[in-house]
Chain A
Amino acid sequence: MLIIDCPWCGPREQTEFSCGGEAHIVRPVDPDSLTDEQWADYLFMRKNTRGPHLEQWVHTYGCRRWFNVARDTVTYRITAVYKPDEPAPGSPE
């Protein structure tokens, strides 16, 4: 089981959390101007990275707040936990 370090509550077991999938997907500002293919890309297409992956989690049975996790999808090792308004680790400021 993963131990996830909630930025607000500290380390807790994975069963307290729900995974919200890939992080940093930005909803298009003007959906009406998109083609169907562009909308499908936003809605359905995913990086599904094998290796370092940025993803959203929510502390469902705790503070119920969302945050982001950097986790390797092969080793499952969590390398960073950061709040939604914080930049991804390693990304340009």
Chain B
Amino acid sequence: MLRRITLKSLWNRRLAVSLTIAAIALSTALILAVERVRMETRASFTNTIAGTDLIVGARTSPIQLLLYSVFGLGDPTNNVSWDSFEKISAHPSVAWSIPISLGDSHRGFRVLGTTRAYFEHLRFGNDRQLALSNGDLSDEPLAVVLGATVARQLGYSIGTGIVIAHGTRDDGLSGHDNLPFTVTGILAATGTPADRTVYVSLEGIEAIHTGWESGIPVAGETLHADHLHEADLHSEAITAFFLGLEQRPQVLQFQRAINNFPEEPLLAILPGNALTELWQLFGNAELALVVVAAMTVVTGLLGMVVGIFSTLNERRREMAIMRSVGARPGDIFTLLMAESALIGVIGAASGFLVLTAAALTAAATIGDSMGVSLSAGMPSGRELLLLGAVVIAAIAAGALPAWHAYRLSLHDGLSARGG
């Protein structure tokens, strides 16, 4: 019966109450979305590279090496000589090595020169391998494999011919148009920077740069496709390389050895450590988002408190009636607490539904335009904690008007003339 009184009382004020619930639901959805995007971004971030024990490049800062070798961000300062790469790769501790060569682009997408080893050994996510959704890997020097996003955004398919631009900014002026490449394979989407990468062979990179040693094409020295097979396409230098070791416990020792490599100043990093370090740079921005979202929840709850307070005066008569049939001031307190608890529970639950609906309808749009993923699903442990925190905060906030009502009913007794 008390439950019925609470429900009917809320129903009687359904417009105001539903607005209050909407405010709490939206703010709850916001804080859940921030949490979910945060977690998924972190997961996809730390899943960008897996199974690689060391990344080796010219000496620079670990984060910079990580940024250009894994995320395709920023420009490498120096190269690693092919000799050093071969020497280190030949070490008995090394299980596999993947050379990469960066510095060119195609219509805004990074071009990465590498070998078949890249597709065989590199892992992302939970030990997943890069997989082709279309076509094949080819040993032809001018074959190109596209990341899923590249193919989709540029509308390329198997057989499309493309020209690679010199430098990472494709200004349409200095293109390697003497050697057009052909798309032979398209990768399945991974949710990592691989989706936005154009893969070519190291020979291809070497071929387009022949005659470009000074940074601009020198007439007569550049290659033409017809002469490709006669040319020596052996790389002199690469940008960086990924290493997999036979035995992981050796990794620190091996890292130290590379960092002290006598023939060339090199830097070896553990991808996991560097990723963590990089992620910490975002920590403050993350925190700011969480704080803003939490403030909207507080605002929503304040709305609820104001809403309940505004009804108290007209409900003094109602409280006097209840007192006359034996209600204690504590019962009045309980009734009002039940009201805010119910609003809090419905608000939090609706917030979760709003988030799920948003994830189901808008996830693709959000993912494409902002590069963040928001997936629908059951609440995680942390999300349940957040939902619980919203409900507890609603109950705590509801104690304010409930306490006021308690004082009022104690003071008024049976004689309130309000209403």
Q: Is chain B found bound to chain A in the same assembly?
A: no
